[in-house]
Amino acid sequence: MKTPRIYNFFGVVVVSTCCGVLAAPEGGLLSAQAAWALDPAPDPAPYCPIDPPLLDSAAHLRAVSLDLRGTTPNSAEYAALPAPSPAANSSSVPESTIDAWLKSPAWATQVVRRHRDLLWNNLANSAGRFMPPSSNLGATYGLYYRSLLSPNVRGLSVPCLDEPATFTANGDIVFKLQPDGTKREGWVKVNPYWAPTTEIKVCAYDAQDNETSPTGTYCGASGATIDMACGCGPAVRFCMGGGAQAVLADSLADSLDRQVRVWAEQGRPYTDLFTEKVLWVNGPIVHYLKYQAKTPGQLRLVPYAMAVAKLPDLPFSAKDTWAPVALADDHAGILTHPAFLLRFQTNRARANRFFNVFLCQPFQAPDSGIPVDGVAAVEEPDLQKRSGCKYCHVLLEPASAHWGRWTPYGGGFLNAQQFPPQRSDCLTCALTGAGCSIDCKLFYLTKAYAPPEKSWLGWLIAFNYMQPQHLKNIDIGPTLLVKTTMADNRLPRCVARSTAEWLLGRGLVPDELPWADQMGVTFATSNYDYRKLVKTIVVSDAYRRAP
């Protein structure tokens, strides 16, 4: 309740409240103080807000147009507004106008921008990490070569000679001894995959176009760099050059944008964003998956989450050509899209983002802090039990398990056939110290950092400390999380609230929360009709009074 202000003006006591003023002579039968004490303002209305006036038709039209189309109305749209009528709502915009705008390409663009704010799918900082540095084909004085592999064949990290390459009768590259002790070959001209209509000079060793070396090494996979007969392959497609990594990063981000755009244009249920089994690909994405993904850098899209054989035949240069690829049931729309998985590279980060923006449940400690029960309590390795951590992790750990079969630092999928919960070879290498395979090193627990972890050696990392009732989260994946939050109404209520806050341009005040909750219920019963939800908001009094 707001505290009254009490003043004494020349013997008259004045009590100022938000709803009026009480005044009485000082020492009178009923002082102003007593009047306040006997008749306080009722608790439900501690202040007397004055609602700002509703926007008039023109202002309302402008606001809706800016939010739904990103542009102001034209003169014809202003002229088409109905004349104000005392019997009608003078601030209304025709429903037919709003309906048409919600079906326009401009609206789809606004939805893409909105979800880009939610998903943070800009991958610019990922460029340069899709392949190892040894696969980078850079240029020095117009000569393209792999500088990190150059010492293996030339003796130093130097390019080849600036002259055409020569070959023996058997087709072997001729290297010439140089005064500095290096051995260098010449170049050959190549039409690179990133610019197929141009020619570049590529050092002959790097320009070797074998798909498979004479010893049987596939030249487009990890480990091929130790085979001297493996270069960058036909059109140097096994290597990164010409800014291809940045183009790939942009393409993956654009793929997620396109998925949202197509959904918005078609007006499908909001939940389709989390359940559809489609990936949009263009030339750079297809090229990477076919020819470069098997030589991953810090980020990896292997083991493949899709059938590569089903990818369309698109060259790298087809950056603006997009095609949908059908995916298996393990996928969960944007929640397993490569751009989302690469932007949020750990399972905890993925769960945290979903809870923040789609459930309105941030993992945040209370303002009062979290008590910690001594040093021994914080040495507990299970974060679901550790004092000071369990406040969040008792929920975050089982939530993150929904991404347990999706690789960290990438978008690969660990299928149950190749990656069972426990693998004997990973257990053996963990116990004996024998050389662990890449699979074991990356995806299985092979070293115990605390005594309780010894029982998890040889297990897929996602299973560590997982409670029996949460194992289904790993098996079913993010789809289970979505369905659970649909059933308990957390998802529709949050989407309704966050959409209202987006369109109002502010957070909701307490009095508006019941309105948002009711919209969430209506949103769910309308089969998650996002257009209808948005329309409900932009015709509401709250929207038309928004600053």
Beta-carbon contacts of residue 97 (< 8 Å; ≥ 6 apart)? 61, 77, 80
Query: Rounded to a whole number, what is the largest CA-CA distance in the chain?
Result: 122
- H helices of 401-449, where? 424-432, 438-443
Residue 543 clears pLDDT 50, i.e. is over it: yes
Q: Compute the half-sphere exposure of residue 286: CA atoms within 13 Å on the CB side of its CA.
A: 23
Whether 538 and 68 have beta carbons less than 8 Å apart is answered as: yes
Residue 330 has pLDDT above 90, yes or no: yes
Closest CA to 413 of 312, 324, 291, 329: 329
Tokens 């209304």, residue located: 92
Residue 39 has pLDDT above 60, yes or no: no
Amino acid 49: pLDDT: 61
Mean per-residue pLDDT for 358-363? 98
| Res. 2: pLDDT tops 50 | no
Amino acid letter, 203:
C
Cα 116 to Cα 296: distance, rounded to the nearest angstrom = 26
Considering only 86-90, 127-131, 540-544, which range has the smallest mean pLDDT?
86-90
pLDDT of residue 36: 42
Q: Residue 86 — pLDDT band, cuts 50, 70, 90?
A: low
pLDDT at 32 over 70: no
* Tens digit of each residue's pLDDT (9 = 90 or more) over 229-287: 999 999 999 999 999 999 999 999 999 999 999 999 999 999 999 999 999 999 999 99
Q: How many CB atoms lie within 10 A of CB 285?
A: 27
Domains of the chain, residue spans? 1-50, 132-239
